[in-house]
Amino acid sequence: FTYLSLCLLTLVSLFIGEYLHLSCEEDSAGWTVKRNTTTKTLTECGDTWGKLRASSCRISYTHPSDSGVYWCESREGATSNTVNITVTAVILQSPVLPVMEGAAVTLNCTTRTPSSLPADFYKDGSLIRTESTGQMTIHHVSKSDEGLYHCTISGYGQSPPSWLAVAASLTLRPSTAQLFVHESLHLSCEEDSAGWTVKRNTTTETMTECGDTWGKLTASSCVISYTYPSDTGVYWCESREGATSNTVNITVTVVILQSPVLPVMEGAAVTLNCATRTASNLPADFYKDGSFIRTESTGQMTIHHVSKSDEGLYHCTISGYGQSPPSWLAVAGELLCHLVVFCPYFISTLLLVSLWRQRSAGKRLTD
């Protein structure tokens, strides 16, 4: 059996003969798994496919006919997000997240029993080349490498298509968008990024480059040795040709509210921490959507058994120091997915998708 890992997207590619477990959220009595395939629509687990147990569904031996769109649905008609599942004999393993220009990326064409078979690789429908080991590496990725890839292995067939995204990226050190006053900040563009520079918009200046009136420029990196509130703004990388990276909103402040970046599951506990640069246990007042909640003597507020009503914009204040920037607390009503086998290449969301691969040759399981 292979190890399971947690991922956060909406596509799953599975080999024929996998064991697939789909589960709705915790405490999900009354929820069931449904699907649409090319032959049947709006069918429930346990009707003509899968084995139903409470709010979970098991497919003991996947077939191509199990390819389709899956979701959780309650008795009242509420639904989760959907998960697109493809069952195939050949899978192309490729990065899910965008690859930075200048980096190297390896695409792996594989079957359920990996054996480094020769594979043909295609981009946007056109043959690129044949690789004897089933792996194709693109060195120094550029924007022109972005596209829809698939592969074929003789005697096994063709993989589902996989989109390779290529993007510029602004990276921060420290890797946080909220900084205390008087911290140092290092901003850099992508690898091999000659011709890229860091720019920003603040409340007093727009479209200014690092090295003009702020920061120290080194190649495609920028260093702010001593941050001030006036450094608060929107930062990005930009090339000579005008291509831009993602933007990052940076806030420089005396007080920071530390809160989860990713959505918190309903029923879980979450702790918000109100801190200064030199202390994290001072008394603090906590607010949600502008309304006072309560004062915590230690500067930490814990919400037990989070519900959707706890979702909102939080901030805190510490007497003598000031107010933190707002932080959005997101609450997810469905479980984050459990994907297996090929994370981060193959993933799903919002259904708990547990997948075990049976290694022993010739062993077949039936629903």
DSSP letter (8 states) at residue 193: -
Please write the tens of the pLDDT for every residue from 22-52.
887 644 567 888 999 999 999 999 999 999 8
- 363, part of any domain: no
Listing DSSP states for 87-149 in one string gives EES-EEE--SSPEETT--EEEEEE-SS-----EEEEETTEEEEEETTSEEEESS--GGG-EEE
- 250, part of any domain: no
Pair (198, 227) in one structural domain:
yes
Last residue of one domain, picked from the residues 132, 167, 202: 167
Average pLDDT of span 258-267:
84
Decide if pLDDT at 215 tops 70. Answer: yes
- 365, part of any domain: no
Decide if pLDDT at 249 tops 50. Answer: yes
Please indicate whether residue 37 or residue 101 has the higher confidence score (pLDDT): 37
Residue 131 near residue 151 (C-beta atoms within 8 A): no
Decide if pLDDT at 273 tops 80. Answer: yes
Pair (67, 104) in one structural domain:
no
Q: Which residue is associated with the tokens 């509210």?
A: 257
- 258, part of any domain: no
Decide if pLDDT at 338 tops 60. Answer: no
Pair (122, 106) in one structural domain:
yes
Q: Where residue 63 falls among pLDDT bands split at 50, 70, 90?
A: very high
Average pLDDT of span 317-333:
91
Decide if pLDDT at 190 tops 80. Answer: no
- 145, part of any domain: yes
- 367, part of any domain: no
The whole-number pLDDT of residue 334 equals 46
Pair (97, 136) in one structural domain:
yes
The whole-number pLDDT of residue 265 equals 85
Please write the tens of the pLDDT for every residue from 162-178.
999 887 778 888 878 89
Average pLDDT of span 287-300:
97
Q: Where residue 340 falls among pLDDT bands split at 50, 70, 90?
A: very low
Query: For residue 226, what are the domain limits?
Result: 171-245
Pair (95, 85) in one structural domain:
no
Q: Where residue 345 falls among pLDDT bands split at 50, 70, 90?
A: very low
Pair (8, 84) in one structural domain:
yes
Average pLDDT of span 289-298:
97
- 66, part of any domain: yes
- 366, part of any domain: no
Last residue of one domain, picked from the residues 167, 190, 206: 167
Residue 340 near residue 334 (C-beta atoms within 8 A): no
Pair (279, 240) in one structural domain:
no
CATH of the domain at 179: 2.60.40.10
Total domains present in the chain = 4
Amino acid at 346: F
- Rounded to a whole number, what is the largest CA-CA distance in the chain? 72
Residue 298 near residue 254 (C-beta atoms within 8 A): no
